[in-house]
Amino acid sequence: MHKRMVFTLALLLTASVALAGDSYAIKAAGYLKPDGSIEKDITLLVIDGKIGAIGQDVSVPNGVAVVERNDQMIGPGLVDVHTTLGTNGRNFEQANSIEAGARAKELFDPDHHDFKEAAAAGITTVIIAPASTHLIGGRTVVVKTGGPREERMMGEGPLKLSLTQEAFNMRRTPTSLTGGLYNLRQMIAAAEKNKNDQSAFARWARGETHALVEVGTPEGVSTLAQFAEEQGLKCVALYANQAAERLDDAKSLGQPIVLGTYEFSDPRRYTRNPNILAANDIPFALTSSAPRYQSALMRVGAAMVMKQGAPRSAVAASLTTVPAEIAGVAKRVGSLTPGKDADFILYDGDPLDLRSRMRAVFIGGERVYVSETLASHDGSKEGGKS
């Protein structure tokens, strides 16, 4: 009974934060810094949906409401670099394998319930990507999972390609990897000739931007490294879960590696990879591949990876700064730095600890999720919605 009262009280307080409008400050037990460490007893100042200041000595301007959350910790909103949220699985075009002009921004339904689930798992920014069944799937889009509808779209993300076997079949050309790479070479040569072409593909072809390239197997990492080297491309290897078995090649890519999705049943051959990548200073990002897998698995994966010995700093980065970098939105999200969007999560403990429950998730300073106490399944859910 006592517990429930406290809980309701907490909810009321949280609700008041949202009502307070443009600016507020939260006093918390600590926050997760980009390097994975925790700074204790801090104040977070949110001004107009942005982070105004954060730290131990933050002076709260007059008239700004201060919320006491001395038992909770703040972590940045998580960034997921490869999802197909809101697409209902209809994210690929069957006819052609090369869809350099396709755009994922035309693909998703912003009101889809997938986004709510992602937000509830603390994922505030996602890349929505075309399917992996194409050599060139098209351009990805970076969106927030909550907040005002018109502000969710953050911009277009990197191009998505795939060199997996999935990308090739006998129903369309190219039917093979060898044919696919021939086509890519031709297209890259054309793009290099035409410097005026500012399409996503052309810019990637000229080495100006990076692209997400799904590789899957360790062989894929090698193929990609060989091709990227030959053509001078920047490629982020996607789902390179055994990248550490091709360490030279992973290194030669010079870009972060995307790993995912981890589950408790995964053998150590996969889960030890981040550990080795970190030891070799290759940054990596984790992804949930939602909605194919649960969004919540992103945090679980991080905990598993840490349990296998990956350093805290690299694990923290893999959920936030590295994916933000890949998505090209590092200036806006990925860490709790003044000036960035106020995308953050209130935990009742260390954000990287699986024991900690997410109490509330904020996007652009606005609360988009508040946790229900699971134990209160007997009907006392009244506090759940505000």
Partner 1 sequence: MNQRRLHRSATMALMLSAAIAVFVSAAQAQTVLLENGKIIPVNGEPIEKGSVLIKNGRIEAVGASVDAPFDAKVIDCEGKVIFPGMIDAHTWRGLDVPNESPGVTPFLNVYDAIDPSQLFFEDSLRDGVLSIHVSPGNNTIIDGLTRVVHPIGLTPEQMTTAPDVAMKLSVTPKTGYDRMRQMAEFREAFRKLDEEMAQLAEKKYEDKLREDEKDLTVPPEEAREKGKELIEPKDIPDKNRNLLMLSQGKLRNFVYCGAAMDVPAAIRTAKQYGFFDQSVFVLGSETFKAIDALKDAGRPVVLDGNLVHTEADALTGEEEETFVPKVIDDAGLKFALQRQWGSTLGERYLWYQAARCVREGISRDHALKSITLWPAEMLGLGDRLGSLEKGKDANVLVLSGDPLKMTTWVELGFVQGEKVYDKAEDIRLNRLFAAPEDELGPSTAPVSQPVEEGHTEVHQGEYEEPETDQ
Partner 2 sequence: MTGTVSRYTQSPIHPVDRPPLRRWGKLKYSCYCSLNGRDALTMRVICRVILGWVLLTPTTSVWAQGGGITAIRGATVLTSSDAGTIENGVVIMRGGKIADVRVSSGQAVPPMPGLNLIEAEGKYVTAGLIDAWSTLGLNPGGPIAPVATSRATDALNVYDRDAFADALRMGVTGVCVTPPAAGGFSGTAAFVRLKDLNDLAGNVTDDVCIVAQVGLGTKGPVSRLAELKALRDLLETAAAYRDALDEYDEKLEDYKKALKDGKTVKLTKDDDKEKEKKAAKKGEGRRGRGRRGRGRHPEHDHEHDHHGHTCVGIRCCDEITEDEFVEWLQSLGEKKEEGHVPGDDIGNEHVEYDPWADPDWASDEPEEKKDDAKDKKDGDKKDDDELKKPDKPAYDPVSEVLMRAIKREIPIRFEVHRPGDVLHVLKLIDTYYLDATVVGASGLLPVAENVADAKVGVIVGQVIGSAGGNDRSHLRDLNLQSAAASQHAEVSPLVLSSGRQGNGVGGQYLTQNAALAVSGGLSEDAAIRAITIEAARSCKMADEIGSLEKGKKADVVLWSGHPLAPDSVVEKVFVDGVEVYSREGGQ
Partner 3 sequence: MMRRLLLMALCLPLITATTLFADDRADESGPILLKVGKVYVSPNEIFEPGAIMIRDGKIDAVGESLPAIDDVRVIDMPEATITAGLIDAAATVGYRFGFHDAEHRSEVVPETRALDTVDLHDPGFADLAAQGVTTVYISPDAASVIGGQGAIVRTAGPRAQRIINPASSIKATIGREPIVKASFNRTPSRFSGTSFLTRRPTTRMGLTWVLRKAFHDAQMVNRGETPGTSGEGSPSAESMPILVDVVKGEKPLRIQARAQNDILTALRVAREFNLTFVLEEGTEAYRCIDELKAANVPVIYGPIFDYPSGWRAQAGEADRFRLSAPRELLDAGLTVALSACELQGEGGLGRMGAYARRCGLTRKEVLAAMTTTPAQILGIDGQAGTLAAGRGADLVVWSGEPFEATSKVNLVFAGGALVSGRIDK
The angle subtended at Cα 97 by Cα 93 and Cα 98, nearest 5°, is 100
Question: Does 193 engage in binding with partner 2 (CB under 8 A)?
Answer: no
Residues contributing to the site for partner 3 (CB under 8 A): 165, 168-171, 173-182, 186, 217-219, 222-223, 226-227, 246-249, 251, 254, 280-281
Choose among partner 1, partner 3, partner 2, none what residue 242 binds, the Cβ cut-off being 5 to 8 Å by kind. partner 1
What mask of x and - would describe binding to partner 1 in positions 21 to 60, judged by CB under 8 A?
----------------------------------------
Q: To the nearest whole angstrom, how small is the minimum distance from the Cβ of residue 286 to partner 1?
A: 21
Choose among partner 3, partner 1, partner 2, none what residue 186 binds, the Cβ cut-off being 5 to 8 Å by kind. partner 3
Q: Kindly report the three-state secondary structure assignment for every residue of 2-44.
A: HHHHHHHHHHHHHHHHHHCCCEEEEEEEEEECCCCCEEEEEEE
Question: Does 2 engage in binding with partner 2 (CB under 8 A)?
Answer: no
What mask of x and - would describe binding to partner 1 in positions 182 to 221, judged by CB under 8 A?
------------------------------------x---
Q: Report which of 134, 144, 138 is spatially closest to residue 333, judged by C-alpha positions.
A: 144
Assigned token pair, 243: 């990248």
210: left (phi over 0), alpha (psi -120 to 50) or beta: beta
Question: Does 17 engage in binding with partner 2 (CB under 8 A)?
Answer: no
Contact between 282 and 221 (Cβ < 8 Å): no
The residue within the footprint of partner 2, chosen from 171, 193, 195, 377 (CB under 8 A), is: 377
Q: Report which of 41, 129, 26, 81 is spatially closest to residue 317, judged by C-alpha positions.
A: 81
Q: To the nearest whole angstrom, how small is the minimum distance from the Cβ of residue 291 to partner 2?
A: 6
Q: To the nearest whole angstrom, how small is the minimum distance from the Cβ of residue 48 to partner 2?
A: 32
Letter for the amino acid at 112?
Answer: H
Distance CA 97, CA 17 (A): 49
The residue within the footprint of partner 2, chosen from 50, 103, 206, 312 (CB under 8 A), is: 312
Count of residues near partner 1 by CB under 8 A? 7
Distance CA 89, CA 92 (A): 8
What mask of x and - would describe binding to partner 2 in positions 37 to 76, judged by CB under 8 A?
----------------------------------------
Strands 65-76 and 78-83: unpaired
The angle subtended at Cα 250 by Cα 35 and Cα 224, nearest 5°, is 130
Distance CA 121, CA 87 (A): 19
91/242 with CB nearer partner 3:
242
Judged by CB under 8 A, the chain residues 230 through 269 that form the site for partner 1 are 242, 245, 267-269
Letter for the amino acid at 352?
Answer: L
Q: What is the dihedral of CA 335, 338, 340, 341, to 10 degrees?
A: 100
Choose among partner 1, partner 3, partner 2, none what residue 385 binds, the Cβ cut-off being 5 to 8 Å by kind. none
Residues near partner 1, by CB under 8 A = 218, 242, 245, 267-269, 272
Residues near partner 2, by CB under 8 A = 89, 244-248, 261, 263-268, 272, 275-276, 279, 289-294, 296-297, 300, 302-304, 306-307, 309, 312, 350, 352-357, 373-375, 377-378
